[in-house]
Structure 1
């Protein structure tokens, strides 16, 4: 979905400032479906809408040499990549296969600023090339090393080593940036402690709040049964199995239904779990759906649940909140920042299906007026996460703004 009215800002030419040539380096980008990829798409679209010349470097979705495609949001340069055996769609670009192409693209693009989205393959070598040429560098971190654990077929002690090395590399690469950002204060604190990056600006990824609100005169009839929604990649770290277990622990007479939106490597196991628990008729797996269909899911849901334990921000939770939906979220990573306990929802103990079931029941058995008040509180909390504010800040940073200019 491309940014709508709430990201509109005067173009660079209208404000009397010279448009910039912006290069975004993204190790994950559509057609990948995840929060980081969606943020990069919105960033590119927003900056193009403000009159800037935007280029994106990202891996290609299949085998073959580098190529360039013109997309509505940017000129996208697809770098050579390799499949990852443990992930259904993620691909990596190997340094020795992309370094020359990156250097050649810099010659053609001649960017005023580069904005890397991680310290991994593409981001790392774009940073090195920009530093060599004296080009301004902005770095945003969307990942925690723990996010890689489900895809590493190694014992935990070895994953711990990989995590420490990854933190060290993050510090090494991102310390070269002029400004470093990450979506939440919690993530910034982790980068201070583990990557030894002293100045990390917490800056929300931003969402199009208006996209998920009811329009004037619009109504969204509820489903004929009370509905819980989950949206996201069906992956191990999302712990959707805990949500299905919790649903099984709610009274049958309440007839609570769960709609699970997204695709991923654990989908078959989750469907089997629902069938085994006698929930096949009450758990719907939609797969990947359109933006319009997703909006409908948010607007019709009575409750949104995010049981994931590795969320750096959770854009889907923000989207659900902007649709005036109460939430129950795992008390882990950045999710506690999105809950005023008892006001717009509740936190639950991670991986504890009993606690999750109890918190679900608190909301789903509450009076309608109380649930509506919780949803309204969710909507109010999302106001500070508007995409326009995020784009304003990045545009300022691109033009030379510092950490100190924007730190609270």
Structure 2
């Protein structure tokens, strides 16, 4: 039995991982239950790709489009009932907010072995709060302390990367967490690359939420600094609180003819966009792994990433792409120009991207978690 505070049809890295992971376990013969917010607000239950999803009553989050949150007093009783009715062999929480918090509490109270995986960084939420820096720092500190309280109930803790586990130690005092990649099935992205047509102009792609910590404005400014911005095409996929501001920035910098803001797209179109891209750029500074970058790498795409958080685990500068220092627009622009100007280098870096991505195959992730489940159940 799992709990996630964001799940399909939500479009973000944590939701996509939780769905792929749950469906992957179903494909191996496990009965998987998922406790998650309702996308409509109304509680219910549905079978989704083999996963029995228990939808909790939810409310639209005021500053993030298409994101729902649950209120503790509306869900804790129902989660307790679900735990006692189905008596899972193991519980696995993907977040510590509400659904994860109360699955952790009620599973622990019922003697159910508990595994916890952290995808959380306060920066991904605090940026939406209209608070001064000192207040935001206090909120981040309290958020980490809250996570430590919930995850302290777990028999086993994991996070997607070594950088994410060291962050748990430093910020939450949680030691001994194991780094396990979120994992990915690279086949659809590899097939999309094989089926793609050669672009008339080199295409630069970003995929992710259009929120402050993603720093997409740095990418837009870097493209504007190219000697000939009209020689490239910029594709931006996703939506968020900064979407309108960044569209205006693109227009102000004269990039309206080369930039496409796609908003949210379905899975088929997203895979196709990965297959067509010549360069993928991730300027975000709060990535505990970055599934979007990993998806691009599966499509044999060279990547340019901010030298921040866990991104250096995926982008090996000079091997499958380049790292740039956050805020250094000229440096980012120079890296883009290098790849735009050299198709052979793009092909070589892209091949290395695909090879690196193979280490993150979803099968390896499922294997390891099955071992962990067996260990905590036996323990």
Q: Report the TM-score range of the alignment, normalised by the length of the smaller protein.
A: over 0.9
Aligned counterpart in structure 1 of residue 274 of structure 2, from 289, 298, 305: 298
Show structure 1 runs of 4+ deviating over 3 A.
Answer: none
Q: Please say if 1:397 is aligned against 2:372.
A: yes
Structure 1, gaps ≥5 residues long: 1-22, 403-408
Offset, 1:254: 6.1
- Residue from 157, 162, 181 that aligns with 2:134: 157
Change (3 A) 1:240 1:122: same
Q: By how many angstroms is 1:91 displaced? A: 2.1
CA–CA distance in structure 1, aligned partners of residues 277 and 192 of structure 2: 17
Alignment map for 1:321-332 (pairs within 5 Å): 321-332=297-308
Q: Conserved in 1, the CA contact under 8 Å of 2:93 and 2:104?
A: yes
Equivalent-residue separation in structure 2 for 1:300 and 1:99 (angstroms) = 45
1:260 to 236, 260, 271: 236
Equivalent residue number for residue 57 of structure 1: 35
Match among 126, 144, 161 for residue 184 of structure 1: 161
String of CA shifts for 1:360-390, please: whole Å, max 9, x gaps.
1121112x22221111111111111000000
How many Å apart are 1:253 and its aligned residue?
6.7
Distance 2:180 2:210 in 1: 26
Residue 41 of structure 1 contacts residue 73 of structure 1 at CA under 8 Å; is this kept in 2?
no
- Tell whether 2:249 aligns with 1:273: yes
- Which moves more between the two structures, 88-97 or 314-323? 88-97
Residue 383 to residue 63, structure 1, CA distance change in 2 (3 Å) = closer
Q: 1:355 to 1:177 in 2, by over 3 A?
A: same
- Find out whether 1:107 has 2:88 as its counterpart: no
Q: Structure 1-normalised TM-score?
A: 0.89
- Per the TM alignment, residue 401 of structure 1 is displaced from its structure 2 partner at its CA by 5.5
Deviations along 1:123-159, one digit per CA (max 9) or x if unpaired, are: 1111110111100101000011221112222111111
| Structure 2 unaligned regions, length at least 5 | none
Give the Cα–Cα distance (whole angstroms) in 2 for the partners of residues 335 and 254 of structure 1.
29
CA RMSD after TM alignment:
1.7
DSSP 3-state at the match of 2:11: coil
Counterpart residue number, 1:34: 12
Instruction: Give the CA deviation at 1:221.
Output: 1.4
**2:339 matched residue in structure 1:** 363
The SS at the match of 1:400 is: helix
Work out whether 1:250 is the aligned partner of 2:204.
no
Q: 1: distance between equivalents of 2:302 and 2:359?
A: 17
CA distance in structure 1 between the partners assigned to 2:261 and 2:204 by the alignment:
12
Distance 2:346 2:46 in 1: 47
- Structure 1 residue aligned with 2:190, among 213, 222, 225? 213
1-structure distance, mates of 2:314, 2:49: 32
Q: Does 1:45 align with 2:23?
A: yes
1:67 aligns with 2:44: yes
Q: 2:94 corresponds to which residue?
A: 117
Contact 2:192–2:299 (CA under 8 A) maintained in structure 1: no
Q: CA deviation at 1:180?
A: 0.3
The equivalent of 2:316 in structure 1 is 340
**Is the Cα contact below 8 Å between 2:36 and 2:56 reproduced in 1?**
yes
Q: Deviations over 1:197-229 (max 9, x none)?
A: 11100000001112211389x542122111101
Cα distance in structure 2, aligned partners of 1:160 and 1:78: 33
Q: Aligned residue for 1:9?
A: none
Partner of 1:213, secondary structure, is helix
Please say which of residues 307-316 and 100-109 is displaced more in the overlay. Answer: 100-109
Whole-angstrom distance in 2 between the partners of 1:34 and 1:291: 12
Task: Quote the residue 2:361 is aligned against.
Answer: 386
Cα deviation per residue 1:344-375 (whole Å; 9 max; x = unaligned)? 11001112211110111121112x22221111
Q: C-alpha displacement at 1:244, in angstroms? A: 0.5
| Corresponding residue pairs, total | 378
Taking structure 2 as the reference length, the TM-score comes to 0.96
CA shift digits 1:251-294 (9 cap, x unpaired): 12761110111222222222111111111110011222232222
**DSSP 3-state at the match of 1:250:** coil
Change (3 A) 1:219 1:76: closer
Measure, in 2, the Cα distance between the counterparts of 1:253 and 1:390: 41
Deviation at 1:47, TM superposition (A): 0.9
Superposition map of 1:119-134 within 5 A: 119-134=96-111
Deviations 1:110-129, CA, capped at 9 Å, x for gaps: 11111101111111111110
Cα distance in structure 1, aligned partners of 2:311 and 2:229? 31
The residue number in structure 1 matching 2:71 is 94
